[in-house]
Structure 1
Amino acid sequence: MNTDLDKHSVFFVSDRTGKTAESLGQSLLSQFDGIEFVYKTYSFVSTEIEAHFVASEINKDSIATGQQPIVFSTLVNDEVQQFISSTDACVISLFNAFIEPLEKSLQIESSHTIGKPHETYDDADYKKHMDAIDFTLKNDDGIRTNKFDKADVILLGVSRSAKTPTCLYLAMNFSIKAANYPLTDDDLKSDTLPGFLLPYADKIVGLTIQASQLNAIREQRRPNTMYASLKKCQEEIKHAGIIMNSHNIFTIDSTAISIEEIAVMIVKEKKLLKSH
């Protein structure tokens, strides 16, 4: 038997903690022997931006494994749920599965209120989680460098080296305020960090990537341009490495590892769970 076929990805997606989706989903899957289920939970998914990110992760998994992942969702908002339902996955909306027959039996429409009372949650944890997501979205791609003092971690690297998806994953799964900054052509002319980043050197994690992979990614975005050329990619990666080495910045090669793995490495290296 091919052991690769014995593993199957399972996603739990919720607008709250995800405990309901996990509990019921795992109970159902326990009826199937001979399969190792690989679980991933996405909690507090309440906006279309967040749902779009989760949907892209589900589709990436489908492509990588060659199998349709199983998705257990307790999302209440129909517009948000639609992003998940449109993925190449077996999507089971636990909320709709129970609400619709209950509405028919009770002859009344449900309120469709998020988190009432299908899950219990801590208001402080929820606020911390939403603050982290809000911060991360507002501090993506060096948009607001004047707020970097509030960041738990700052990801640094050349354009298209997986900074944004990693930041979103850190915010959505660990409630970490993650900012990122793309090194520009002017930045790469120097052998040291841009001046405004120096006070935050201890917060920085570098992301690098193999030039051939970066070239392929950029060609999809802006084909046949200098920005996407292999030579340009090689030069940027080389100079970015010099900058990071000059400050002994912990650096991760994102070429052949998943966003989840990158995030866990960052959390462990920076000991970010101590305060979260």
Structure 2
Amino acid sequence: MTADPLVDRAAGAAAPVATRAAFFVSDSTGITAETLGRALLANFPGFRFQRHTIPFVDTPAGAAHVVSDIAAAAASGLQPIVFTTIKNAAVGAVLAGAPATRIDLLGGHLTELEQTLGTTASEQLGQFHTLGDTEHYFARMRAVEYAIEHDDGQSARALDIADVIIVAPSRCGKTPTTMYLALQYGLLVANYPLTDDDFPTDALPPLVQKYAARCFGLTTTPLRLSQVRHERRPHSTYASLAQCTLELRRAEDLYRRNRVPFLNSSTKSVEEMSAVILQTLKLRS
């Protein structure tokens, strides 16, 4: 079991709010339960949640141990909330006895699909986060290898097959966005850092210029960039507000001159940025 002490707080909340336990329980990795559960909890920023992810609960005995953990949390505070992705009815029945509000994230949805497809759902565990479609799985692994090789402009090899080339000044979010697109979608993504050596110029850097149609730019705010860079190189020219302002202005001018779409990463998650890139470059299947 892994616990996440992070809390959600209402902006400007006047009074403290009691912490409530939230459990994400799955018969497989727990990724789906946690992702969907967190997405639901995010709609209630006025509450604080102590989060627990419990994967591989695939027997009634294992479920009984989880019920004990839930009961302990219930005894020390408010009634816990339990998000589950459990297929086995016997395991689900044990969890139903926990002193908590249980939200079955599969629930009636599998039944609805069974009815419309005219067949019963497979009882094999963890179908979504296992190898599953091996071709797709290995495509994602190749994409991760490609992203590592082409991180920060390290390699010019096979740039012609890149689906996306992310261009941005240092510390604007190129690498995490690259890795997310590779691992989540199996896209071949390279990224290139804009440095002082790339200016002054009206064109994109030579390494990526002929692939302009596949380029996407990132920017941020000078203050945010300065803060991030100070964590890496405190009190350096590289992290100074003046240098950050200059680099971002030059980058945005470069994007506009070369009609490279771009977005400001300062208030967006890697998931949001990736979604914008996919939509803008029409990479959604």
Shorter-normalised TM range? 0.5 to 0.7
Cα drift, residue 98 of structure 1: 4.4
2:142 maps to 131
Alignment of 1:111-190 (within 5 A): 118-120=125-127, 121-190=132-201
Cα drift, residue 192 of structure 1: 1.6
Distance between the aligned counterparts of 1:69 and 1:155, measured in 2?
36
Q: Which amino acid aligns with 2:277?
A: I
Distance between the aligned counterparts of 1:263 and 1:203, measured in 2?
14
The percentage of counterpart residues that share the same residue type is 31
**Per-residue CA shift, 1:201-252, capped at 9, x if unaligned?**
0000000111111111111110111111111111111111121111111010
Distance between the aligned counterparts of 1:139 and 1:69, measured in 2?
38
Structure showing greater relative contact order (alpha-carbon pairs closer than 8 Å, 6 or more residues apart): 1
Distance between the aligned counterparts of 1:162 and 1:185, measured in 2?
18
How many residue pairs get aligned? The number is 202
Q: Which amino acid aligns with 2:274?
A: A
Q: Does 1:203 find its partner at 2:214?
A: yes
Q: Structure 1 residues 65, 228: closer, same or farther in 2, change over 3 A?
A: farther
Out of 34, 53, 59, the residue aligned to residue 91 of structure 1 is 53
**Per-residue CA shift, 1:141-198, capped at 9, x if unaligned?**
1111233212110100100000101111111211111110001111022222112212
In 2, are the aligned partners of 1:191 and 1:239 still within 8 Å (CA)? no
Distance between the aligned counterparts of 2:268 and 2:226, measured in 1?
17
1:240 maps to 251
Asked which structure has the greater CA Rg, the reply is: 2
Q: TM-score, normalised by structure 2?
A: 0.61
- What 5-or-longer segments of structure 1 have no aligned partner? 30-34, 40-63, 71-89, 103-116
1:45 maps to none
1:257 maps to 268
**Per-residue CA shift, 1:73-120, capped at 9, x if unaligned?**
xxxxxxxxxxxxxxxxx232x22x448x68xxxxxxxxxxxxxx7444
Cα drift, residue 273 of structure 1: 2.0
- What 5-or-longer segments of structure 2 have no aligned partner? 1-8, 12-16, 63-123
Distance between the aligned counterparts of 1:67 and 1:125, measured in 2?
38
Q: Which amino acid aligns with 1:91?
A: T
Cα drift, residue 260 of structure 1: 1.1
Q: Structure 1 residues 11, 258: closer, same or farther in 2, change over 3 A?
A: farther
In 1, are the aligned partners of 2:216 and 2:277 still within 8 Å (CA)? yes
1:225 maps to 236
Out of 191, 210, 217, the residue aligned to residue 202 of structure 2 is 191
- CA RMSD between the two structures: 3.6
